[in-house]
């Protein structure tokens, strides 16, 4: 009951008071609590992506962690209190599997410019395919299915790091069919929905870079 009241109180806070501290408190309350499912299957959200709709209620019986496990292998996001004019929280798929794998929710990293990867002369970098820890097999399969629906069947990627701590996940523009520059922003936004907030995503030509690898 205390957990439910905490969630209820947080959901009643006006938008003007929902700062970063509110978000962190809300997410922790969810992790410790349960939700009631409003839909048994994924529903297409206003942004075009699939979501499971849920709400905070007295009759909530589904532990949040169980919901996360179910969604993670299906490529589905989560909306909390979707019945409200402004839902209390929207989890894109990347936040779902990111929590499942890393046990925490990450704040967004600095934005990366589409199609631009700069290496200083003589600078040493580490490059190669993503590890299973960085990009799990089930996530790759979901990404492959998405790109297949966009008629991209042989997508190539590369992970690059300058310090072994910060990584750029580079998607080959060549394997994407060399879309025009004005489409890059939309492509990056679509890819970002599938990845945790702190992942840095880049679009780049393969020429001049290390070998790319199939997704």
Render pLDDT for 179-207 as a digit per residue (tens, 0 to 9): 999 999 999 999 999 999 999 999 999 98
Q: 132 and 91, same structural domain?
A: no
Residue 113 lies in a domain: no
Q: Mapping DSSP to helix (H, G, I), strand (E, B) and coil, where does residue 100 land?
A: helix
Q: 153 and 62, same structural domain?
A: no
User: 176 is in which domain, residue-wise?
Assistant: 126-214
Torsion of CA 41, 46, 49, 52, to 10 degrees: -30
Q: 142 and 187, same structural domain?
A: yes
Residue 120 lies in a domain: no
Distance CA 191, CA 106 (A): 17
Of the candidates 8, 72, 82, 10, which has an alpha carbon nearest to the alpha carbon of residue 39?
82
Q: 76 and 141, same structural domain?
A: no
Render pLDDT for 71-109 as a digit per residue (tens, 0 to 9): 999 999 999 998 888 999 999 999 999 999 999 988 765
Residue 107 lies in a domain: no
Tally of domains within the chain: 2
Q: 148 and 189, same structural domain?
A: yes
SS (H, E, C) 151-199: CCCCCEEEEEECCCCCEEEEEECCCCCCCCHHHHHHHHHHHHHCCCCCC
Q: 157 and 85, same structural domain?
A: no
Provide the whole-model pTM: 0.88
Residue 66: per-residue pLDDT = 96
- % of the chain surpassing 90 pLDDT: 66
């Amino acid at each position: 009951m205390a957990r439910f009241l905490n969630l209820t109180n947080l959901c009643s806070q006006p938008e003007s008071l929902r700062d970063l501290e509110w978000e962190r408190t809300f997410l922790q309350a969810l992790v410790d609590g349960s939700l009631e499912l409003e839909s048994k299957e994924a529903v297409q959200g206003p942004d075009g992506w699939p979501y499971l709709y849920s709400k905070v209620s007295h009759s909530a019986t589904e532990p949040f962690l169980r919901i996360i496990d179910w969604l993670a292998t299906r490529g589905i996001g989560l909306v909390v209190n979707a019945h409200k004019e402004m839902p209390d929280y929207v989890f894109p798929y990347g936040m779902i599997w990111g929590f499942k794998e890393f046990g925490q929710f990450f704040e967004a990293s600095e934005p990366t410019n589409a199609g631009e990867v700069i290496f200083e002369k003589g600078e040493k970098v580490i490059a190669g395919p993503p590890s299973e820890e960085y990009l799990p097999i089930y996530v790759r399969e979901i990404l492959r299915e998405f790109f297949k629906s966009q008629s991209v069947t042989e997508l190539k990627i590369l992970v690059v790091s300058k310090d072994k701590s910060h990584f750029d996940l580079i998607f080959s523009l060549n394997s994407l069919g060399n879309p025009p520059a004005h489409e890059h922003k939309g492509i990056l936004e679509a890819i970002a929905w599938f990845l945790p907030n702190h992942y840095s995503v880049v679009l780049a030509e393969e020429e001049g870079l290390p070998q790319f690898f199939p997704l």
